[in-house]
A and B are shown apart, each in its own frame.
Chain A
Amino acid sequence: MSKFHVSTTVNGDTVEYLCDPRETLLDCLRDKLNLTGAKEGCGTGDCGACSVTVDGRLVCSCLMLGVEADGKQVETVEGIAEGDILHPLQKKFIEYAALQCGICTPGILVAAKSLLEKNPNPTEEETRYWLAGNLCRCTGYDKIIRAVMDTAADLREAS
């Protein structure tokens, strides 16, 4: 099957790749661009480990085809920190031990950042429902929810 040429922007960088029309955006990020921060936990859009934003919208990159990213702005976990300065969510996740094994963490950080950009003052219930598409099997979510809500409070205070 012949491949398609895709030009897109990932974390602000212009990138190009050739992909089979059956390959997902996640396959292309991981295997063609070597951005392995997004993980494949299920391949069916149920676990959220592959979460990225496309033109500002939170998506499961395993449910989007690589060819669909043409001309789009894609943001992944690798783009969350600004240079060597970690995003406040990243710092808080480490401080609160909001990760154990860490496999879900990239997707949860992308999803949580997306939440705070839309809602700087989420309730616990809103935070839990926003993150309900991101499975974590280690933590029971307690420390994750606290980390997201306390980061939101810090950001509100700083602004």
Chain B
Amino acid sequence: MALDDRKSEFSFVGTRPDRPDGLDKVTGRAKFGADTSAPGMLHGAILRSPHAHARIIKIDTSKADAHKDVKAVVTRADFADVPFKPGLEGEFWNVLENVMAGDKALYDGHAVAAVAATSALAARDALKLIEVEYEVLPHVTDVDKAMAPDAPVIREGAADYSVPEGMHPNVVRYHESGHGDIEAGFAEADLVIEDSFVTEATHQGYIEPHACLGMLGNDGKGELWCTTQGHWIAQKTCAALLGIETSQLRVTASEIGGGFGGKTTVFIEPVALALSRKANRPVKVVMTRSEVFRATGPTSSASMDIKIGMKKDGTITGAQGIFRLQGGAFPGAPGDMTAMCGFAPYNLTNVHQVGYDVMANRPKQAAYRAPGAPMGAFAVESVIDELCNQLSLDPIDVRLKNAAYEGTKASYGPRYERIGLVETLEAAKAHPHYAAPLKPGQGRGVSCGFWFNHGGETSVSLALSEDGSAQLMVGTPDIGGSRASMALMAAEVLGIPYENIRVTIADTATLGYNDVSHGSRVTYASGLATIKAAHHAVDKLCERAAAKWGIPVDAVKWENGCAVPSGPNAGDFDPMPLADITADMGSTGGPISGHFEATPEGAGVSFGTHIVDAEVDPETGKTSITRYTVIQDAGKAIHPTYVEGQYQGGAAQGIGWALNEEYIYGDDGRLQNSIFLDYRIPVASDLPMIDTVIVEVPNPGHPFGVRGVGETGIVPPLAAIANAVSNAAGVRMRQLPMSPPRILAALKDNG
């Protein structure tokens, strides 16, 4: 889309109205995953492996089967016989293996059997009646150990074509990219720093555990209600795992209590449906928090080596990164994403990056907000900070000197279109935060961050009512106020009040396919589709007005919610409001609707710059974040308050990842901190207010200039906080989280 065609003056976009679902969500009326029931409903519960790695010799369900309250017991034999390919190309096979173990339990918490009973208590009790005989196998949970020659093999033949000869079978995908001559680049440098970094796995930590209600008959027709970021992928996956036709399973997305990438796949949904099919009754399954931690999709853990060369004037002459990501007992760790994002903010002549996807005996990783990018940014931006310190250069000036701009060849290959990194850095430099004095014991950190953003398959439909109001059906679950931004964009095109538009998250039977609410794609892609669907309806409104006036349709245009003659030659007619056209649409040609289906490709990459002040207590090792500023390019903020909310939420999750949160495994391979008391996410008293600056450099790929804003905000915090803490403590922090014991150890090592 040409820049000239893009709208830049707005009536509704950029305002801050109340969200359409606000009342439901402040009164307790909104129905989330666990908030529904059905007549005759049973309750499901899942038996999970206590071992990190074990062969399943035998599962005896006879005692559970015989219990009067138990109506169904399922194991792997009750799922579709999805053809197993030695190359493990099929993600469906991986998901099936993950939702119900086959020959082996691959991690602590791996599902091995499930029951449906007449009450939740009865189901829980019945799990104790199932006897499983295991042969415990050696396990590995650490990424570097999983790559070592003597590591236990999680599964032979899981590696794809990309993995070089001679790697351990646990290395299942390999990525290498870059350009220029990296050794020549290092030779040009006045200072080269090489360092290694480690991050631990974290969890998205959505407050709503996974929950679903499934019904499936032996006629192959089913209904599923679940909390999900994408009900079409749930539909497709469940249908495949149960051996039924996709279209025969109707999936309705509940309100979703947080996802952040963790609800982009299925865990309990196929189990509920399998139990339902066997019991011939609806089955509800709700995870406990401990199940969420042990058996959903946390992030990868990472081990990374970075080498960067810099001239005395701050020019980066060469940059190299090796990124090893552990993603659980299945292929999928985003080592490629980490590698591609690490150096993406910079205009580099010589850059080289390698990413490894490594399996270990942990739960199958899932996306978490810009998956893979935060770890890489932590490692890369820490080294840049150290170079700035040793060369006595200002960290924002150095980033400005090397910043990518329109036309820069990205570290991962393509040339950038219009991007806003320089604008975020200039805004950071001009922000009062950057000039504010620091108190003793405090340090300041800066980091940039990059994320690709995503388009994805999208379907939207819009129907006008005879009274001039509009119903908008979108297929991307509303996780953080997207109903409001959709209604604003529809109002902008239709020219009717925001309040007159009802936005519904449609079920899978009501719209064509929609990709998941992920990749920061909702405001971009569902927004683009909403705009196009509204234009489609406007075209029809103009046709009806033209017919009423007896003039050609190209002599009618749409302005401020009315059909108007397009010029003096078109005739002299009063503007005809939308409601006047819809009032008699039944007799002028029938219902007026608009729709749009496509896979938009112009998502527009996004950059952010964060400034953070941290104070380290040398007695206890505790870090306090004293000031935090997020500056990020939104392209165009449709509802600025919710854009701010995305920035603040990303920063807060980043603070948790940087300072506290980690999966802790014992020597036995079992997760030791599977409740919120022990896996401590930031609470209100841990955080300061989080200041935000919305930079708007329009995305050429969206009619209103939108770039997704959901994910980029979690990319800079890990590095920005590590830089602040390192500067406060006077010692470089190379491992996350920077929990008090690690900081005390680093201070001690530093003397």
Contact = CB atoms under 8 A, between A and B. Distances in A.
A100 interface: yes
B288 A43 contact: yes
26 contacts: A27-B120, A36-B35, A40-B209, A42-B676, A44-B676, A77-B26, A80-B27, A94-B18, A94-B22, A99-B26, A100-B642, A101-B207, A102-B24, A102-B26, A125-B685, A128-B687, A129-B685, A131-B683, A132-B684, A132-B686, A135-B681, A137-B204, A138-B258, A140-B687, A143-B644, A143-B645
Interface string B669-684: 0000001110001111
B257 interface: yes
Interface of A: 20, 22-23, 27, 30-31, 35-44, 46-47, 49, 76-78, 80-81, 86, 90, 93-97, 99-106, 109, 125, 127-129, 131-146
A38 B28 contact: yes
B34 A137 contact: no
Contacts of A142: 648, 687, 689-690
B23 A138 contact: no
Per CB-CB distance, the 3 closest pairs between chain A and chain B, nearest first, are A37-B28, A103-B257, A140-B652
Contacts of A125: 685
A100 B649 contact: yes
B345 interface: no
Q: Which of B121, B206, B256, B685 has the most CB of A within 10 A?
A: B685
A37 B27 contact: yes
B155 interface: no
B608 to A, nearest CB: 15
A89 to B, nearest CB: 8
Given A128-B684, A138-B479, A141-B684, 8 more contacts: A20-B119, A36-B35, A103-B32, A129-B685, A137-B258, A138-B649, A140-B648, A142-B689
Contacts of A90: 26-27
Nearest to B678: A46
B540 interface: no
B685 A137 contact: no
Interface in B88-108: none
Contacts of A76: 28
A101 B675 contact: no
B65 interface: no
Given A139-B652, A140-B648, A39 B675 contact: no
Contacts of A100: 258, 479-481, 642, 645, 649
Interface in B477-534: 479-481
B466 interface: no
B635 interface: no
Nearest to B687: A141
A46 B675 contact: yes
Nearest to B33: A103
A102 B25 contact: yes
Given A40-B209, A134-B684, A96 B481 contact: no
Interface in B3-20: 16, 18-19
Contacts of B24: 102
Count class of interface residues, chain B: 35 or more
Nearest to A79: B28
A47 B119 CA distance: 25
B385 to A, nearest CB: 24
Contact of B26 (A44, A105, A139): A105
B378 interface: no
Contact of B684 (A22, A31, A144): A144
A41 B209 contact: yes
Interface of B: 16, 18-19, 21-32, 34-35, 37, 119-121, 204-209, 255-260, 286, 288-289, 479-481, 641-642, 644-645, 648-649, 651-653, 675-677, 681-687, 689-690
B261 to A, nearest CB: 12
Given A100-B479, A136-B207, A137-B258, A20 B19 contact: no
Contact of A137 (B21, B209, B653): B653
Contact of B32 (A20, A39, A143): A39
Given A94-B19, A99-B25, A139 B645 contact: yes
A133 B684 CA distance: 8
B28 A135 contact: no
Given A41-B289, A44-B675, A128-B685, A140 B27 contact: no
A134 B645 CA distance: 18
Contacts of A43: 288-289
B683 A135 contact: yes
Contacts of A77: 26-28
B208 A101 contact: yes
Contacts of B260: 137
A80 B682 CA distance: 27
B207 A140 contact: no
Contact of A36 (B25, B28, B687): B28
A136 B208 CA distance: 10
A24 to B, nearest CB: 11
B677 A46 contact: yes
A30 B32 CA distance: 12
Nearest to A131: B684
Contacts of B26: 77, 86, 90, 93-94, 99, 102, 105-106, 109
Contacts of A141: 652, 682, 684, 687
Contacts of B289: 41-44, 47
Q: Which of B206, B257, B683, B684 has the most CB of A within 10 A?
A: B684
A100 B647 CA distance: 12
Contacts of B690: 140, 142
Nearest to A96: B641
A103 B260 CA distance: 14
B257 A139 contact: no
B35 A78 contact: no
Contacts of A80: 27
A101 B394 CA distance: 39
A137 B649 contact: yes
Nearest to B675: A44
B208 A39 contact: yes
B19 to A, nearest CB: 7
Contacts of A97: 16, 19, 481, 641-642, 644-645
B539 to A, nearest CB: 34
A23 B119 CA distance: 11
B480 A101 contact: yes
A41 B207 contact: yes
Contacts of A95: 18
